[in-house]
Amino acid sequence: MGELDLVVRARRAVLEGTERAVSVGVRDGVVVELAAYDAPPGARQTVELAADEVLLPGLVDTHVHINEPGRTEWEGFRTATRAAAAGGVTTLVDMPLNSIPPTTSVQALDVKRAAAREGAHVDVGFWGGIVPENLDQLAGLHDAGVMGFKAFLLPSGVEEFPHVSYGQLRRALELLAPLGALTVVHAEDPDVIDHAAAATGPSYAGFLASRPQQAEDQAVARLVDLARDTGARVHVLHLSSATALPAVAAAQAEGLAVTAETCPHYLGLSAEEVPDGATPFKCCPPIRGTANRNLLWEGLRQGVLTCVVSDHSPCTPDLKQLATGDFGLAWGGIASLQLGLPLVWTEARRRAVPLTEVVQWMSRGPADLVGLGHKGRIAAGAAADLVAFAPDQDFTVEADRLEHRNPVTPYAGRRLTGVVRRTWLRGTPTDSDGPRDSGEARGRLLVRQP
Ligand SMILES: [Zn+2]
């Protein structure tokens, strides 16, 4: 037993779903001891949180599009992981598309890993992709340690990542089920979308009508059937339509391996407040009305939805069509990696939802989804990924103070509650508050745990 490297003392800490005072002992980047707040063990360094701070486990964001290499001008590992660290996210999982190459082969995964290794400020894992022509690559990607596989049921927005038909997805699930691999799906039904009027111009109502709830509801119902037929583990990405929740709940009650996530923008924003022409709010599926949003909160509190993750999907300002405000032409995606916790917490607080539940959805839930049992919790044996969070401090979002590459955000000027004051990755402070690009990158590349 060597000396502890670090002890963090907190009058308030979120542990095992409850809040209590604690002294967290860290050695070699791992939590090795949870001691009484009043009886901290000796250590080389002791940090005492301020009276208005709560100690949280680092957030785990399993839905992040980093785009490097190939579209690094949209977002890269260095900028995205700096934004993550500033927002208390210590682990993220990169989506397989929008980079070139997309992560649809082991060689492409190697390319992504080489890019990430250079600049990651937090730990990074990878999703593999399912496209029509790569079913022979899935076992190799699984063996190479991807966290699971992503598929689209309709055009993804980039031509090098084509979508699969339900039949093609079924064949992929049949291959993946015996491996125990997780498949995550962008679930909007292409036929329903094709029958809706396409979005053009600055009307938000027009855009919303082009992505009807029935598209999600129909796709989720088909996915549940595929999970039942194949025995594969299926996860619904960025669920926006609350009328799809009963199908997810019924699948879970039936014992199927079906899970679902939602995102901060669906929880914190409503269609009624999106101005016409405000393309920074464009994402797919879209931000829907207030009544729908209230039902998403219900779905979380009832445990039907188990994760809140960013779907951080940035691009360059020109692709957001800021000048024309055209919802038909603008790239769909909201960059919010750095703001997820305050966005969700601001709204949770208004609804009297405790911080412990928010932490469950943003740390433990996503960690468990991808099998990272040592992440997303403050517990003996877990990584010492920690966040000092001031839950009662307000701030105003300033786009140019966000760390992601292009300062485009629908949240500019918004008043939020909850400030991430400090982040530790495996017991070491992240350097997000240091001068830009001067810090030492400390993130590691993660592989799926057996
Ligand atoms: Zn996404």
DSSP codes, 208-262: HHHS-HHHHHHHHHHHHHHHHHH--EEEE-S---GGGHHHHHHHHHTT--EEEEE
Q: What separation in Å is there between the alpha carbon of 335 and the centre of ligand 1?
A: 10
Secondary structure (DSSP) of 3-16: -EEEEEEEEEEEET
List the structure tokens of 310. 């960013």
Q: Give the distance (Å) from ligand 1 centre to CA of residue 399.
A: 21
What is the predicted pLDDT for the residue at 438?
47
Q: How close is the Cα of 150 to the center of ligand 1, in Å?
A: 10
CA 258 to ligand 1 centroid distance, Å:
18
Q: Half-sphere exposure (CA, 13 Å, Cβ side) for 311?
A: 28
| Cα distance between the two ends of the chain | 28
CA 67 to centroid of ligand 1, rounded, Å: 11
User: What are the CA-CA distances from residue 320 to residues 49, 323, 347 (Å)?
Assistant: 40, 9, 26
Task: Give residue 447's identity as a one-letter amino acid code.
Answer: V
Closest CA to 313 of 64, 120, 59: 64
- Give me the amino acid identity at 359: V
For the record, the structure tokens of 229 come out as: 């037929």
**Model confidence, pTM:** 0.96
* CATH H-level, domain 58-376+392-414: superfamily: Metal-dependent hydrolases (3.20.20.140)
- Ligand 1 centroid–CA 9 distance in Å is 37
User: What is the bridge-based pairing of β-strands 258-262 and 182-186?
Assistant: unpaired
State in Å: Cα 43 to ligand 1 middle. 42
Q: Is the dihedral of CA 351, 253, 369, 310 positive or negative?
A: negative
Q: According to the model, what pLDDT value does residue 1 have?
A: 58
- Residue 117 CA: distances (Å) to CA of 76, 175, 440: 12, 30, 12
Question: What distance in angstroms lies between residue 313's CA and the mean position of ligand 1's atoms?
Answer: 6
Q: Write 351-360 long-range contacts (CB < 8 A, 24+).
A: 351/297, 353/297, 353/301, 354/19, 355/14, 355/19, 355/54, 355/56, 355/391, 356/14, 356/17, 356/18, 356/19, 357/300, 357/301, 358/308, 359/14, 359/56, 359/57, 360/17
Paired strand residues for 183: 149, 234
Provide the residue ranges of all domains of the chain, joining segments of one domain with +: 4-49, 58-376+392-414
For position 155, what pLDDT does the model report? Answer: 93
What 17-20 contacts at long range (C-beta under 8 Å, 24+ apart), as own/partner pairs, is 17/356, 17/360, 18/356, 19/54, 19/354, 19/355, 19/356
Centre of ligand 1 to C-alpha 63, Å, is 6
> What is the spatial distance between Cα 237 and Cα 283, in angstroms, rounded to a whole number?
13
Distance 167 CA to ligand 1 centre (A): 22
Task: Say if CB 222 and CB 258 are below 8 A apart.
Answer: no
What's the CA-to-centroid distance between 252 and ligand 1, angstroms? 23
Q: Tell me the residue type at 437.
A: D
Q: What is the pLDDT along the chain (450 residues), one digit of tens a residue?
A: 579 999 999 999 999 899 999 999 999 999 999 999 999 999 999 999 999 999 999 999 999 999 999 898 888 999 999 999 999 999 999 999 999 999 999 999 999 999 999 789 999 999 999 999 999 999 999 999 999 999 999 999 899 999 999 999 999 999 999 999 999 999 999 999 999 999 999 999 999 999 999 999 999 999 999 999 999 999 999 999 999 999 999 999 999 999 999 999 999 999 999 999 999 999 999 999 999 999 999 999 999 999 999 999 888 888 888 889 999 998 889 999 999 999 999 999 999 999 999 999 999 999 999 999 999 999 999 999 999 999 999 999 998 888 888 888 999 999 999 999 999 999 999 964 444 444 454 899 999 998
Calculate how far, in angstroms, residue 329's C-alpha sits from the geometric centre of ligand 1. Answer: 18
d(CA 266, CA 244): 14
Say what the pLDDT of residue 441 is: 47
Helices (H) and strands (E) in the chain, counts: 13, 17
314 CA from centroid of ligand 1 (Å): 10
The partner residues of 149 in beta bridges, in order of sequence, read 128, 183
DSSP states of 370-432 as a string? TT-TTSSS-STTSB--EEEEEEEEEEE--GGG--SSS---TTTT-EEEEEEEEEEETTEE--T
Q: What spacing in Å lies between the alpha carbon of 27 and ligand 1's midpoint?
A: 36
Distance (Å) from CA 312 to ligand 1 centroid = 7
Rounded-to-integer distance, Cα 308 and Cα 233, Å: 19
Count other Cβ atoms within 10 Å, centred on residue 255: 8
Handedness of CA 43, 45, 46, 47 (dihedral sign): negative
Give 311 Cα–ligand 1 centroid separation in angstroms: 5
